[in-house]
Each structure stands twice: as C-alpha cells, then as structure tokens.
C-alpha cells in the first residue's frame, strides 16, 4: 500500500509504503499513483482514559465482548489506535465483571488485544468530598484495599497498568508503593490532599496527575491548594482534558507551559455518552445529561461527567489554546501516554508497525481524521 501525505513532524510531503503490516519505506512524494492520500499523516493516537461511548460503558454490569469491540472500533474512526479502557468507582462485582470481560475480549480478538494493551482503574479509592469526587458515586468510594486490587488485577489478566487514587486515604502510601513495585503507574486524581501528602505520594511512586484542573472544588484557597501543588511538582506528569469544555484556554496554556509538552498527556475522557444526541441518560445508577453544546453534566450542578468528544478533537483545541505545534499536539496524544505506561512507541519510521492516522488540518481550522490504519 502506498500512502501520500505531509509528515506531521516535518511538513514534508512523503510517500509511505506499507507491507505486511509494517512501514517498509518513507520517501519524498514521487510520481507513482498512491492508494490513499490525505493532507497529513501521523502515528495513531493513544488515549489512556476512555470510559466508553455510544451509550456503552466499560463500567456496566452488562458489558460484553461485542461492546468492547464496538468502543475500540468507534475510537479507531477518530484516529485512536490504542486506548486504556477506564473503569470508574463502582461495587466490586461490577468492576470484576468489567475487567474479566475486557480480558476475554483481548484473548478472543487479536485486533482488540492490539488496541488495548492496558486498563485504567479510576477509583474507587477517591475523595468522597463533593467537588473532588466529581461525578463518581459516593456510595462506592472507599479506602485502598490491596486484596481487592489483586482480585481485580487477576480478573483483568494483569492488564491494569494505571490506577488513579486520592492519596489522603489511610493506607494510600503503602498502597502506592505496592502498585509501583508491581509495575503499575499511579496517578493522583479526584483528591483534596494537602501539599505535604502530595509530596509523600510522589516519594512513594506517584507519577501522574489525572485530568489536572478537574475533579476539584469550585472554590478553594487561592495559593495553598492541590492544583498548584501538583502543577509545581516536576516529578508529576499531567493529563488534561482538551475537549473545549473541561478547561478554559488560559488554564490549558499554563499547564502546558509549566509541564511542557514532554510531560503533558491529552485525553478526551470520553464518557459512555460520548457521541450521543442531547438528552438525559441513566448511567452508574445516576442520571446525566448531554447538553446541546456538546458536554455531559450532572443535571442541576456545574459538574461534568466525562467528555462528549473524542481524542481527535483535543488535537486542534490544544493547538489553539496553548499555541503548541502540530507535532507536539499529536505526540501529547500518542507518544507521551505510551512513554508513561512503558508501551512500545509508534513512529513514522521504516520497520515500525503501520499504525497510521491520515487526516486533514489547517491552522485554526478543524482537525478531521480521514482514515485510521492499524497494521
């Protein structure tokens, strides 16, 4: 297969020849007739926080292998070649079922297994406080439990590679140490921890702030607060939701400038309601609303419940909001999350897997995925 497009990092128009699922060569565009063309080409994206879409939730007690496959296929149409299915705060049996079903999907479908190298557990070890808790169910919030986690990891077949928790819980620090020793990346999120506790969590092994700037109180001390503390900690990477709803441009710009594109990860945090028309829907034993401007809210509150958009929308947004270039924007949504999780990279180089995103984009305009190729 011969592909022709501009290289996302150099802007050069190139011909990419793919053979047997790998990139065979990359050369300046020539006279040959390509099989497929687009404005640009880049490695596929990787989103470490996808909760579901189209009314399907990884957290559902009715999750099936077919549902997992549907979410993977839908994300692929948005340039997402890899993702972490994210299970959020829930009862043990619902979490166990989700983990076991994702494992079954990976073991029965090679395409799903390629797309899902890791699972993200966001909760249930979060703050029970209104604000930091966000849309997570209060009734299922609980302190870290190592035995419970081990049973979930067993159900997942060892695929849990990222855990978001609130470090202020009793027992959280030794829990972080055990996760880190087992090769699991620990993220701080949905927390109201003190600066001292955040520092202790970092020393114990925490490496990431989950969707920094969200999952927080609406009003807090202007200087001594957990957002500033995490932003100032050079040891912590930061994921941010750049869907245009969760963070204003000024906040996105500050986070990217402080952390730099080398330590910022773009996520869409797509909810199970991503892609659905406006209306009210039931999920996680709660009611949520998709509003016309394209966001998911807890009715009657200012709290968001994940995103309505997908990762591709975050690319154009972060360029406009933070002033980064196309290469950095795409790497923040692909190379950086893979680096954090210790996963193999996807680069535009001969010999690499042909996991490619063909898209159109002009500065200040819409980012539109034309085609996603995986091997």
List the catalytic residues. Answer: 269
CB 164 within 8 A of CB 190: yes
**Full 3-state SS string of 4-23:** EEEECCCCCEEEEEEECCEE
CB 294 within 8 A of CB 245: yes
Of the candidates 345, 341, 329, 262, the residue with the CA atom closest to the CA atom of residue 23 = 345
- Element (DSSP H or E) covering residue 63: none
Q: Any residues with CB less than 8 A from the CB of 38 and at least 6 apart, and which?
A: 3, 5, 358, 359, 360, 370, 371
How far apart are alpha carbons 206 and 173 in whole angstroms?
Answer: 9
CB 190 within 8 A of CB 129: no
Cα–Cα distance list, 61 to 36, 51, 91, 261, 272 (Å): 41, 14, 10, 37, 13
Count CB-CB contacts under 10 A for residue 218: 9
301 token code pair: 């509150």
DSSP 235: T
In angstroms, how far is the first alpha carbon of the chain from the final one? 11
Q: Any residues with CB less than 8 A from the CB of 31 and at least 6 apart, and which?
A: none
Q: At 173, phi and psi to the nearest 5?
A: -65, -50
131 token code pair: 């604000």
Q: At 67, phi and psi to the nearest 5?
A: -65, -45
How far apart are alpha carbons 246 and 251 in whole angstroms?
Answer: 10
How far apart are alpha carbons 25 and 23 in whole angstroms?
Answer: 6
How far apart are alpha carbons 42 and 369 in whole angstroms?
Answer: 11
CB 162 within 8 A of CB 48: yes
């Amino acid at each position: 297969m011969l592909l022709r497009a501009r290289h996302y990092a150099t802007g050069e128009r190139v011909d990419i020849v793919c053979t047997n699922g790998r990139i065979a060569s990359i050369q300046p565009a020539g006279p040959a007739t390509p099989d497929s063309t687009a404005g640009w080409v880049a490695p596929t994206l990787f989103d470490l926080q996808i909760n579901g879409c189209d009314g399907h939730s990884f957290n559902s007690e009715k999750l099936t292998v077919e549902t997992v496959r549907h979410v993977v296929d839908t994300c692929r149409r948005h340039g997402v070649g890899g993702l972490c299915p994210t299970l959020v705060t829930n009862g043990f049996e619902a979490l166990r079922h989700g983990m076991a079903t994702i494992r079954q999907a990976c073991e029965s479908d090679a395409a799903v297994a390629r797309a899902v190298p890791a699972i993200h557990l966001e909760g249930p070890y979060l703050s029970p406080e209104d604000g930091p808790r966000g849309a997570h169910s209060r009734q299922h919030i609980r302190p870290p439990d190592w035995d419970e986690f081990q049973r979930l990891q067993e159900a997942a077949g060892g695929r849990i590679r990222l855990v978001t928790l609130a470090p202020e819980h009793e027992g959280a620090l030794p829990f972080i140490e055990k996760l880190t020793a087992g090769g699991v990346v620990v993220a701080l999120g949905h927390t109201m921890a003190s600066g001292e506790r955040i520092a202790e969590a970092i020393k114990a092994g925490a490496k990431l702030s989950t969707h920094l700037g969200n999952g927080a109180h609406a009003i807090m001390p202007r200087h001594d607060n957990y957002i500033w503390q995490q932003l100032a900690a050079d040891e912590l990477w930061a994921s941010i939701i750049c869907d245009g709803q969760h963070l204003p441009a000024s906040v996105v710009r500050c986070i990217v400038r402080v952390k730099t594109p080398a330590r910022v990860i773009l996520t869409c945090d797509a909810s199970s309601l991503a892609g659905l028309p406006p209306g009210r829907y039931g999920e996680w034993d709660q009611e949520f609303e998709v509003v016309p401007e394209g966001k998911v809210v807890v009715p009657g509150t200012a709290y968001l419940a994940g995103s309505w958009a997908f990762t591709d929308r975050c690319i154009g947004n972060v360029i406009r909001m933070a002033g980064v270039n196309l290469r950095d924007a795409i790497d923040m949504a692909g190379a950086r999350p893979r680096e954090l999780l210790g996963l193999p990279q996807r680069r535009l180089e001969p010999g690499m897997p042909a996991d490619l995103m063909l898209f159109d984009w002009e500065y200040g305009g819409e980012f539109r995925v034309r085609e996603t190729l995986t091997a």
